[in-house]
A and B are shown apart, each in its own frame.
Chain A
Amino acid sequence: MFEPKRLHPVSVIFTTIQTFKQLILGFLPIAILAIGDGMFFYLVLGIGVLLLLIVGFSVLTWMRYTYQVEEDQLRIEHGVFIRKKRTISKHRIQSIDLSQNIIHRLFGLTKVQIETAGSDHKIDAALHAVTLQEGKKLHDQLKYKQTVEMQRTDDQVEVVSYPSKQVSTKELLIAGSTSASFGFIIGLFALGFSELEVIIPDSFYNQASAWVVNLTIQAMIVMALTFFIIIWALGILVTLFQYWKFTITRYEKELFITRGLLEKKQMTIPLKRIQAVGIKETIIRQLFGFSTVYVEIASGDINNSGDMKTLVFPLMNRKNIHSFLAEILPEYHLPIEKQMKLPKRALPYYLVRTAFIPLIASIIVAFIAVDWIAVALIVFILSAVIGYFQYRSARYQLSNHQLMIQTRVLNKDILLLKHHRLQSFAVKQHFLHRRHNLASIDTAILSRLAGRHVMLNEVDVESALQLADWYSYEK
């Protein structure tokens, strides 16, 4: 247990790929120039030599990289030219995540990612390739005072007596088929097919028809539909691959997530790093009554993939959220009754905010391009409708230590905030607000090493002050 170990030799492949990726951008212009000058032979030669060098370097890197587990620390030594030694104390380790991509799975390996509390990610360590068995062993050895019992059965981690929830295939299919890109496309098509011919002026048709003269309308529609179905299917596939068997388990002090079909991923979220819980409903999902649950966490690198907003559940029926939170995150609750809405006099503000610019645009269009007035008016009406729904959705609820704020831009977003997680609290009033006894509130939470402002516009001024009193430490 105490002697230094090397990573699995496959890590050479990873280093090679990684280095090559980094270099390729720099060499691409040279390569293109070389091809242009007819120096193809030299280019191939150059690439060959380069590859050889990189592979050699990767092998050296692998040879020089050792790790060892000592009493209560992990020691890593690495570096080809500059030797670096790093010791990470067990007590400081926040989470150890195992993840496997396709190459890992081919060889039965895993990547071990060790995260410490600091915000400096250079301090964190990642063992790129060790055998799965070794990975599990490391996980158990380094876990400080972890009483979690895990039994491995076949292909999935089974956990004894901790609340856990897995996504169903049906939910995943729905999640995929209602993903954001799809919503956008369907909206576009709905608009296109129903109204296009009426709205768009004849002059445009005449010009456009010059180049599509060979295509019949039917053929175009078929093409568009095929394209659309392919994109849709792709969206569903991506979601299935990403969130396959998404399972979340609640331990005493952390949430543990496993997911993925080809690339298996594990994620540990320490509870004390959770800054807020959010529930998001895109327009389409809202129609069908589905929501996504996510958390805002303090430091960023837990998930490297940018699109994933630290989901704690990819999709579930709105009705189940209450029991889900009660089981997995009992610190937070979704209040259903006593939600406070905005006063009626707030509505004009919301309408003006969304529809003012389209209105001006419509007026301009009416003067300079009267043909297009229908399009402008539709945009204007749509934005007014959005404004109305923003007003309708805006609400809040206050219970002991938790503030719920629900807002909408296009999608509905509910945030559950804890008193001690709010970094500051502001009440804003402009001169019209003062006349109408309204105020906006603006508070901030920490999210990925930066602040995220949570705002609720045009609340009744008395309620805003009550919220401020609730927040204030000087009672």
Chain B
Amino acid sequence: MRNAPTERIATDAIKAWKVSAIMLSIIPLLITIALFVLAYYFEFSYWFAIGLTVFTIIEAVVTIVFIPKIRWNRWRYQIFDQEIYVQHGILVVTRTIIPMIRIQHVDTKQGPILKNYKLASLTISTAATTHEIPALLEEEASNLRDQISELARVEQDDV
């Protein structure tokens, strides 16, 4: 665990994350508009709405422009014969070791956004925890899934 894992996730992850961030920031945008409308009809101060506008803009810039890039940059993984080694996190950097013999099952998952960019995420479950490698190339994800399930196929003692 002295060195970071070597493999990066797909570059398109940044685009996919940006799209979902844009979609998420629609919610504060709608609330802001609603507040302007309400302020107009019920005649209270516009300052609340203006404050929220500032917040919305900052939130959008941070989550759309900066966070996906930093997140991608931090995301690393590495598959060994006996364990999987994962690093992620923006403020809190977490490095996790998942031994192959503890793995119960591996899934690949693909939502509409990831599908659009031909990406898929890989979920690794142990008896007590689940771990996700978020955006891999479709093909790579299914290869990894098969590879891991092959490596994890070791005689399991009770849990």
Contact A428 B92 (CB under 8 A): yes
Q: What chain B residues lie within 8 Å of A298 (beta carbons)?
A: 127, 158-159
Query: Does any Cβ of B come within 8 Å of A310's Cβ?
Result: no
Complex: A199 Cα to B129 Cα, angstroms: 47
Q: What chain B residues lie within 8 Å of A473 (beta carbons)?
A: 80, 82-83, 99-101
Query: Does any Cβ of A come within 8 Å of B157's Cβ?
Result: yes
Most buried by B among A298, A424, A427: A424
Contact A275 B83 (CB under 8 A): no
Q: Which of A107-115, A224-232, A441-449 contacts B (4 or more CB under 8 A)?
A: A441-449
Contact B81 A426 (CB under 8 A): no
Q: What chain B residues lie within 8 Å of A474 (beta carbons)?
A: 80-83
Q: What chain A residues lie within 8 Å of B94 (beta carbons)?
A: 426-429, 442
Interface bracket on B: 20 to 34
Complex: A473 Cα to B152 Cα, angstroms: 13
Contact A425 B96 (CB under 8 A): yes
- Interface positions, chain B 98-114, Cβ under 8 Å from A, are 98-102
Query: Does any Cβ of B come within 8 Å of A450's Cβ?
Result: yes
Query: Does any Cβ of A come within 8 Å of B131's Cβ?
Result: yes
Chain A contributes a number of interface residues (CB within 8 A of B) equal to: 32
Query: Does any Cβ of B come within 8 Å of A452's Cβ?
Result: yes
The 8 A CB mask of A308-347 against B (1 = contact, 0 = none) is: 0000000000000000000000000000000000000000
Query: Does any Cβ of B come within 8 Å of A145's Cβ?
Result: no
Contact A429 B126 (CB under 8 A): no
Q: What chain A residues lie within 8 Å of B92 (beta carbons)?
A: 428-430
Complex: A275 Cα to B94 Cα, angstroms: 24
Contact A427 B1 (CB under 8 A): yes
Complex: A473 Cα to B112 Cα, angstroms: 37
Q: What chain B residues lie within 8 Å of A425 (beta carbons)?
A: 96-97
- Determine how close the nearest CB of chain A comes to the CB of B133; give it in whole angstroms: 14
Given A426-B95, A429-B92, A273 contacting B158 (CB threshold 8 A): yes
Query: Does any Cβ of B come within 8 Å of A272's Cβ?
Result: yes
Complex: A168 Cα to B38 Cα, angstroms: 70
User: Which A-chain residue is minimally distant from B1 (CB atoms)?
Assistant: A468
Extra contacts, 8 of them, besides A434-B93, A474-B82 (Cβ < 8 A), are A272-B158, A273-B159, A298-B159, A423-B102, A424-B96, A427-B1, A428-B94, A444-B129
